[in-house]
Homo-oligomer: A and B are copies of this chain.
């Protein structure tokens, strides 16, 4: 153990490592959760890591703002990937990818030629349960996972596999848990049901859902899972909202991210009792039905809530 803390004194070519940033930039535009993509919606924005800033956070912030013109509201580090074989070429220089989650608002005409906003459900069609469980689940995913489970040699493994599938995808009468987005992707990956794993290890059919370069879709799944967990106890949704909004718009944004519906009255109760918002005095125009009050996020509450906590109602049942 005594040699563990010896730090390398020199950097040789053999040690060569490159690091880059990968960003999951999220916005919600009238009920659609979007992510910034490049390469014809086939990759997440990424770029070589620069040490020009005091911290990774600030580096990412500056980088995103320079590249996209979007100010970044909330930033959070997601995960650092350095798995061998990510590039496919064993002699390639080792690459570490540090991924971040960032929240913004979609703004018109800000994207570059290569950059665009894409709905994240294009990549994960099984994740949107706002209109009930998507047909693809029962029709395609469940049967294939069952086949995968049955393909195991030992009966014990068959059972374990199927139980895992049932838990993560809410099959066999189990509840759907929207926070398991990453586990679901990883399970499909392991079962060779998505192009990314088929590409690497060879396999047959894939499940619907747009693929991405490298492991970008895994990174996106990580971001979705993290954000879905976070909105339940931190007021991060507000970063995605315009300055003024109705409570229904706020609710729709939460639902868009969570991929499931929320009880309207209870949602309002929770929002109001936590004093997260205040009335602007104005009413929403151009709406169907009874006009709604406009609200704005209470800035004063931010400092406190950012540390402590907030609750949003997302039932598990």
Contacts and interface: CB of A to CB of B under 8 A. Distances in A.
A43 interface: yes
A105 B77 CA distance: 29
A311 interface: no
A82 B98 contact: yes
B83 A56 contact: yes
Number of chain copies forming the complex: 2
A16 B16 contact: yes
Given A1-B113, A5-B39, A77-B79, A167 B308 contact: yes
Contacts of A67: 1, 4
B93 A11 contact: yes
Interface string A81-115: 11111000000011010100000000000011111
A229 to B, nearest CB: 10
B77 A5 contact: no
A28 to B, nearest CB: 21
A183 interface: yes
A56 B85 CA distance: 12
Contacts of A15: 16, 18, 48
Contacts of A168: 307
Contacts of A68: 1
A119 interface: no
A54 B84 contact: yes
Contacts of A114: 1-2, 4-5
Interface of A: 1-8, 11, 13, 15-20, 38-39, 43, 45-49, 51-56, 67-68, 77, 79-85, 93-94, 96, 98, 111-115, 160, 163-164, 167-168, 177, 180, 183, 303-304, 307-308
Given A11-B93, A49-B82, 9 more contacts: A1-B67, A1-B111, A5-B45, A5-B46, A8-B18, A17-B18, A52-B84, A53-B84, A77-B79
5 contacts: A7-B20, A11-B13, A15-B48, A17-B17, A168-B307
